[in-house]
Amino acid sequence: MENRPLEYDYTVAKMFMLTTIVLGIVGMTIGVFIAFELAFPGLNTILGSGLAEYTNFSRLRPLHTDSVAFGFTVSGIFATWFYVGQRVLKVSMAESKFLMFVGKLQFWLYVIGVAAAVVTLFMGYTTSKEYAEFEWPIDIAIVIVWVLWGVSIFGLIGIRREKSLYISIWYYIATFLGVAMLYLFNNMEVPTMLATSPAGETNIGDWLHSISMYAGTNDALVQWWYGHNAVAFVFTVPIVAMIYYFLPKESGQAIYSYKLSLLSFWGLMFVYLWAGGHHLLFSTVPDWMQTMGSVFSVVLILPSWGSAINMLLTMKGEWQQVAASPLIKFMILASTFYMFSTLEGPIQAIKSVNAIAHFTDWIVGHVHDGTLGWVGFMIIAALYHMAPRVFKRELYSKSLMAAQFWIQTLGIVLYFTSMWIAGITQGMMWRAHDEFGNLAYSFIDTVDVLHPYYALRGTGGLLYLVGFFMFAYNIYKTMTAGRRVEESELQNASPMGA
Amino acid sequence: MNFNEFAAYAYFFLIMFLVIGTYSYIYHLYKNRKDVTGVDYEDYSNMALKDDIDDAPVKSMSDDKEK
Ligand code: HEM
Ligand code: HEM
């Protein structure tokens, strides 16, 4: 047999790149649709009142959140892991048949899990816990997928050539451990079939429907310890892993300060876990816990900005690259939005601010400057960087990429500015009262006032979605029609066609 | 000491511990500049920059075995 030189094997990375794009399209299309439902309620019954069960806002909302979080984002995490992991550990998946098998198994189980999740959510099966809506059989499938991913991570580390673990690997490991712990504890649930009514009847429940093992305030606490850290370990930690690899690599610049990256890592790990209380301010959880949540949220600025500034300073003296390369623009804007949402978050966590912000659209604005600007842009940039390397072809079109960048940036700006105004208006109107303490407005008054902002948000979201389609098209053309490139062209800046 | 008092002390000392821990770690990193194996921390960036399969690792696994 011919003795071929060893190469990195991107089979599994490619598979997850595909699901990143497909699930991104699914999730964001639903997002745009529900955004317009809020602006134009008639859309809730667009297929007639007979089918309204499947088209209304409340049925579709979890499909949006779960497909962007556990579909788009988690696929992006897996895709980049199977790329970055091999490279910084300097070991190829082709060297281990076992790891190759585990990786593919993980992919197919994941696809089955996603399909089951989509179908059951559409049918209305839900545990009603935000970001943990899946019923127990799907939870079990997810746990297996996660364990397989763990086998991949530690398996690859076990056969590595590079002794030290690059900072991104630390972040991937933290993602793995963090989500494993959170997911297991928050999803402890019992099928209602096993329940007995106060009157002693049995067999009145359903095998597929379950309820949480915790009740009341305890349930709320566990839920938001989970919910908050899902933000930490799905929308922050793995995305930091990505930027620490892709930005230095694409720009050819060493990380501004590797020491700072180590420090920020431990800072983030220690602080994040304690900040979940800020989701439960003014609720029934103990007061000291709420205060602790607020305090840790403010402290959280430090490690967050530590990473973000480290990234911006990596470009020190190299800012012409930001102007020249749309790919680097995506990453610089991503870290800027990261700074932005990690400043906004702590402000919203201050009790007096939260009194106005909670339950309003300002929170939704915060969510989306984080997810669209930081998570979305970083994953898009990562895939753009990977595409020429995994397909051995030049990126199809630089100008298309630049156009996408500006369209999506405009979309994000429309999204969060409209939600700020909407949120603060809402917060102020809800609490306005006359001298006798009678509320000045009823709920429907706020709905009336907010209509234009909802329409604007829908438009912003639509622009972002259009940009995402441009991204999908660009990657597809790269795969099928891009000019073939040599290894030597792939050192740093990605090759791009006009 | 009731629970709240205990929690307050525990909280205070935890914060003290974390602050001291963090600052000592910063001091340690910047004073030594190199880790115990003698590699400058900043050189670890090369794990990403020179990551082709035939690039030399910053710190190779096989070095260990030779020792
Ligand atoms: C320093 C960092 C951050 C802090 C202190 C923070 C703080 C907060 C606060 C106070 C809330 C509102 C809770 C409420 O009143 O309901 C919130 C909600 C949220 N934040 Fe952040 N945030 C931070 C960073 C981020 C980032 C980077 C993202 C995403 C990329 C993010 C995603 C979310 C999400 C998804 C929610 C909504 C949860 C829900 O109610 O469903 N946050 N955050
Ligand atoms: C195409 C752009 C998008 C649009 C138009 C959109 C729209 C929406 C809408 C209308 C909601 C419900 C808000 C409400 O209940 O008032 C929502 C919630 C949410 N979306 Fe999006 N979305 C988009 C993209 C994304 C992406 C890419 C992510 C994550 C990576 C994301 C994560 C979330 C989360 C976590 C929530 C729940 C927020 C909360 O409970 O406070 N969205 N989105």
Q: How far is it, in rounded angstroms, from Cα A474 to Cα A485?
A: 17
What is the reported pLDDT for A3? 62
What are the pLDDT digits (tens) for A213-245? 999 999 999 999 999 998 899 999 999 999 999
Question: Is residue A1 predicted with pLDDT exceeding 70?
Answer: no
Domain A11-482 has CATH 1.20.210.10: yes
Tell whether B12 lies on the interface with A, counting CB pairs under 8 A.
Answer: no
Helix (H) or strand (E) holding A456: helix A443-481
In the predicted model, what is the mean pLDDT of residues A59-65? 97
Judge contact between A34 and A60, C-beta under 8 A.
yes
pLDDT value of residue B64: 57
Answer whether A117's CB lies under 8 Å from A131's CB.
no
| Residue A316: C-alpha distances to residues A235, A242, A262, A374, B56 (Å) | 26, 19, 20, 20, 27
Identify residues of A whose CB sits under 8 angstroms from chain B CBs.
5-8, 87-88, 90, 92, 160-164, 166-168, 244-245, 248-249, 252, 254-255, 257-259, 262-263, 266-267, 270, 288, 292, 487
Q: Among the atoms of ligand 1, which is closest to the Cα of residue A281?
A: 15
Mean of per-residue pLDDT scores for chain A? 94
Q: What's the gap between Cα A270 and its chain centre? A: 21
pLDDT band of A328, cuts 50, 70, 90: very high
State both tokens at A461. Answer: 């979201």
pLDDT at B53: 87
Q: Angle, nearest 10°, between helix axes A216-235 and A237-251?
A: 10
- CA distance linking residue A158 with residue A106, whole number of Å: 19
Three-state SS letters, A356-392: HHCCCHHHHHHHHHHHHHHHHHHHHHHHHHHHHHHHC
d(CA A344, CA A365): 10
Ligand 2 atom with the smallest distance to the CA of A29 is 1
CA distance A464 to A408: 4
Contact A471, A228 (CB under 8 A): no
Helices A237-251 and A167-186: crossing angle in degrees, nearest 10, is 160
Rounded CA gap, A410 and B7, in Å? 48
Structural domain spans, chain A: 11-482
Tokens of B43: 């050189």
- Tell me: the pLDDT tens digits for A335-359? 999 999 999 999 999 999 999 999 9
If you ran DSSP here, which 8-state letter would residue A213 be given?
S
Say if residue B1's pLDDT is above 60: yes
- What is the torsion angle, in degrees rounded to the nearest 10, for the CA atoms of residue A209, residue A214, residue A218 and residue A224? -40
Our CA-based measurement puts residue B22 at a distance from the nearest CA of chain A, in whole angstroms, of 8
pLDDT tens by residue, A68-101: 999 999 999 999 999 999 999 999 999 999 999 9
Q: Token match 């098998």: residue?
A: A101
Give yes or no for residue A373 having a pLDDT over 50: yes
pLDDT 10s digits, A187-212: 999 999 988 888 888 888 889 999 99
Answer for the pair A79, A16: CB distance below 8 angstroms, yes or no: yes
What confidence tens digit (pLDDT) does each residue in A436-454 have? 999 999 999 999 999 999 9
List ligand 1's pocket residues with C-beta within 6 A: A 130, 227, 231, 235-236, 275, 278-279, 297, 300-301, 304, 341-342, 345-346, 348-349, 354, 357-358, 363, 366-367, 370-371, 374-375
For A3, the token pair is 């003795």
